[in-house]
Each structure stands twice: as C-alpha cells, then as structure tokens.
Amino acid sequence: MTQFMDRTVIGLTLGFALVALLGVFVLPDWLMSQVLIAFSRALAVLGLVVLWRTGLISFGHALYFGLGAYTVAMLGKDLGVTEVLITLPAAGLVAAVVGFALGFIIRKYREIFFAMLNLAFSMVLFGILVKTEALGSTDGFSVEQPTLFGIGTEDSTVKLTVLFLAVCTVGWLSAVLVHRYLGSVLGSLTTAVRDNEIRVEYLGYSVAQAIHGKYVMSAALTGLAGGFTALALGQVDPESMVNWTVSGELVFVTVLSGPGSVAAPFIGSLLFELLRTYAFELVPYAWQLIVGGTLLAVIFFLPGGLWSLISKLGGRDRAAQPGGNRGEGER
C-alpha cells in the first residue's frame, strides 16, 4: 500500500466527497452556506493545529485571516481580478509572504510571548485598516462577485455552489498535504520540538527553521481561510476579519477540535458554526454563555478535543494530546 493510500487519506477523500454531494444535491442553501463558512474557518484551524503540536499557540492569526480577505477584496476592487483560481492562491501567497517575514522575529519566542506577539502584530494591522479611508475604514467595502474560468456567479445559488465545491476541494487537498507533511521527517519534528528542543538541535536540526516553516504553512492556510470567507460573505471590514475576536474564535475551534487528526478541524468548525447559530436563535441574549460552557466542558472532560471522543467511540483511543501519547491517530 502506497503512502497516499492510508486510512486517513481514504477517509478524507470519502468524507469530502460525501459532503460535496450532499451540499449540491441535498442540503438547503442556508445550511450549505454554514458548511462553507465552517470549512473556510477550518483551513485556519488546520494551520493552528500544526503549531499546537509544536507546543505553540497564536492569539493573533486574525492578521493572516484579514490579509487573505483583503487581498481577495482589493484584487476585485482595484484591479478587477475576480477569478477565484487567481484570487484565492493570491490570498494564501500574501499571507505566507508576510508570515515568512515576521517569522524571523516570532520564531525566537515561546509560550505566552509567542501568543501575545502574534496578537500585537494583528492589532497593528487592525489599527491601520481602521484608520485608512481608502480601505473603507471601520465600514470596510464590498467584495466583487467571483468568477470561475471567466464565468460569472451573479446568481446567488451558482455562487454558493461554486464556492462550496471550491472549499471542499481545497479543504481535502490541504488536509491530505498536511497529513503527508506530518508523516514526513520534517513533520515529525513538531512533537520533537515540543518535547525537547535541545535534543532536536543535537540531532542536527534547526529548531528555529522548523518553527519558521510551520509558521509560514499556518499563515498560508489562514490566508486561504480569509479569502474564502470574504468571498462567501461578500464584505470585508476590520471588525469581522482582523479584530482579536477573530483570533479568539480560531483558538476556540482549535481547542474544540483537538490535535488528533487533520480531519478534526473540519468537524470541530462545523459543530462550532451550528452551535453558535442555534444558540443565538434559541437564547439571543446569552448565546455566549452556551458557547463558553461548551468550551469549558471540552477542556475538563475532553482535553484531547472532539477527536479524542471520536477515537474512543471508534475503538482507536490514540488521539494525540499535548504531552500525551502519540501515534498514527495524531497524523
């Protein structure tokens, strides 16, 4: 059996294919839209999971989320480029380039300093956007209707279907590539760096370079997430794209999902989106209480996230927890 034919890749392929078919032929537009937003966010969470396995957490990835969103919006607004095969890769590339530049500074820090330094950079971008009238200031601006192979998507159903299939395709590809990366020698350094950086250095690997590479990967995935979200919502503004609350949501979903599998971010993001939607509908003035209580329950009873529960129910209690046992379930 080849490396690409392991159970995780097969499961990802079948899972995303099933979701795509259900979305196109079964799900109503409102639910399809929620899955689109959830899977868009899951791309950012997938990047944060890579950092989490290294023992790092970022409170400022709204920086890259916002860069991806504004890249897509500005390409359409200023240059008239609306082709999703151009705008979405551009969103990921811009975020990766900025992540590469900032990575030289951020890779020197650990623990709370790493987390807060990321937050500081994201708030710098937030301040710039709020004060820049050309970028819409606090109100933001609308995103041009996307096109695919030059075909317009003015019809809302067509637009939703195109973006839904696109996020399923990109989500599947990203999950498979990250899974393969985590199974490689460089990917295996994630847990090694977390456990003992000195031993990694003795083995001849550069911890700083390893963290830098994972940080750039995380930034690129988060930029893609921002690009998809901007296209789905049709609007960008600093409050919903770059503010610290966006980073908080991403961290929330990361903890909710757990680091046990590359599929976990997509499951966790979907559950978070449904939880928030129905909590707001049922208890509009206290929905944050329900969401916060859910996070507390996960932290106390499922420290490995939702994936640890899935692993237990499936008889494969090998999901990774920070500092715990690691095996195939962690890939």
DSSP track, 232-290 = HHTEE-HHHHTSHHHHHHHHHHHHHH-SS-TTHHHHHHHHHHHHHHHHHHH-TTTHHHH
- Residue 122: name the closest of 200, 44, 238 by CA: 238
Question: When comparing pLDDT for 320 and 315, which is higher?
Answer: 315
Q: Is the pLDDT of residue 121 over 60?
A: yes
Confidence of residue 315 (pLDDT cuts 50, 70, 90): low
Q: Say if 58 falls within a structural domain.
A: yes
> What is the rounded CA–CA span in Å between residue 319 and residue 309?
9
Residue type, 98: V
Question: When comparing pLDDT for 127 and 312, which is higher?
Answer: 127
> What is the rounded CA–CA span in Å between residue 217 and residue 196?
22
Mean of the pLDDT values across residues 277-305? 83
Q: Say if 327 falls within a structural domain.
A: no
Q: Say if 222 falls within a structural domain.
A: yes
Q: Say if 121 falls within a structural domain.
A: yes
Q: Say if 265 falls within a structural domain.
A: no
Domain coverage including residue 98 = 3-243
Please state the domain count of the chain: 1
pLDDT tens for 144-202 read 989 888 777 778 888 899 999 999 999 999 999 999 998 888 888 788 888 888 888 88
The encoded tokens of residue 248 equal 């908080």
Q: Residue 200: its pLDDT value, please?
A: 83
Q: Say if 52 falls within a structural domain.
A: yes
> What is the rounded CA–CA span in Å between residue 72 and residue 104?
26
Q: Say if 302 falls within a structural domain.
A: no
Q: Say if 250 falls within a structural domain.
A: no
Question: When comparing pLDDT for 299 and 3, which is higher?
Answer: 299
